[in-house]
């Protein structure tokens, strides 16, 4: 895969946690461009499957895209590997399609609380977190 001009060019730093490596961006992109960047790195947007992993992703203290979206079917949130959402960490009142806007992509918004997720418009520009999983 050819490196697109828009991919971050700094030497990427990956952090290990409980079976996966994580990369947190230093620039902001839309959800789709963020996913493209992760895939280019041989990873994907992070899938959060435990309380420990949720706490870990908040430790970066960044408002960041995660690998959760309901763009295929409104209200049916799926992780980027196609699995359904079973354990959620929505902020109070979220997800809400705020004021009828199409908010199909999920961000860590309030990283100081375990109720941290918000559905937001996918075109918004955020930091993002990639995860490389080595489970076999
Ligand atoms: O009040 C919650 C609401 O806050 C923002 O809208 C004012 C969020 N939108 C953006 O951050 C772009 C909504 O997603 C959120 O529900
Ligand atoms: Ca929202």
Contacts for 136 with CB less than 8 Å, ≥ 6 apart:
none
- Say how far residue 55 (Cα) sits from the centre of its chain: 14
Domain extent at residue 35: 14-133
Atom of ligand 1 nearest to the CA of 121: 12
Q: Is residue 107 part of a domain?
A: yes
Nearest CA to ligand 1 atom 14: 120
User: Which residues surround ligand 1 with Cβ inside 6 Å?
Assistant: 94, 96, 98, 103, 118, 120, 124
Is 40 inside a domain boundary? Answer: yes
Please indicate, yes or no, whether the overall pTM of this predicted structure exceeds 0.85: yes
5 located within any domain: no
The maximal CA–CA distance of the chain, rounded, in angstroms, is 43
For residues 113 and 2, give the distance between their C-alpha atoms in angstroms, rounded to a whole number.
39
At 45-58, the pLDDT tens digits run: 999 999 999 999 99
Indicate whether 24 belongs to any domain: yes
Q: Examine residue 27 and state whether it is found in any structural domain, yes or no.
A: yes
- Span from the CA of 79 to the centroid of ligand 2 (angstroms): 17
Return the ligand number nearest the Cα of 121: 1
Nearest atom in ligand 1 to 124's CA: 12
Q: What is the number of domains present in the chain?
A: 1
CATH of the domain at 114: 3.10.100.10
**Interatomic CA distance for residues 127 and 62, integer angstroms:** 7
SS3 8: coil
Q: What is the pLDDT of residue 134?
A: 78
Asked if the structure places residue 2 within a domain, the reply is no
Span 88-124, pLDDT tens digits: 999 999 999 999 999 999 999 999 999 999 999 999 9
Q: Let me know if residue 3 belongs to a domain.
A: no
- Please say if the pLDDT value at position 126 is more than 90: yes
């Amino acid at each position: 895969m050819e490196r697109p001009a828009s991919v971050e060019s700094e030497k990427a730093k990956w952090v290990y946690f409980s079976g996966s490596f994580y990369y947190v961006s230093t620039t902001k992109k839309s959800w789709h461009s963020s996913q493209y960047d992760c895939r280019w790195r041989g990873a994907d947007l992070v899938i959060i499957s435990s309380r420990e992993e949720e706490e870990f992703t908040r430790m970066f203290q960044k408002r960041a895209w995660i690998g959760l979206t309901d763009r295929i079917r409104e209200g049916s949130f799926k992780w980027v590997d196609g699995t359904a959402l079973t354990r959620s960490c929505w902020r109070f009142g979220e997800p809400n399609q705020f004021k009828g806007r199409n908010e199909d992509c999920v961000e860590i918004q309030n990283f100081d609380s375990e109720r941290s997720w918000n559905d937001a418009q996918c075109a918004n520009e955020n930091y993002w977190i990639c995860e490389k999983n080595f489970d076999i």
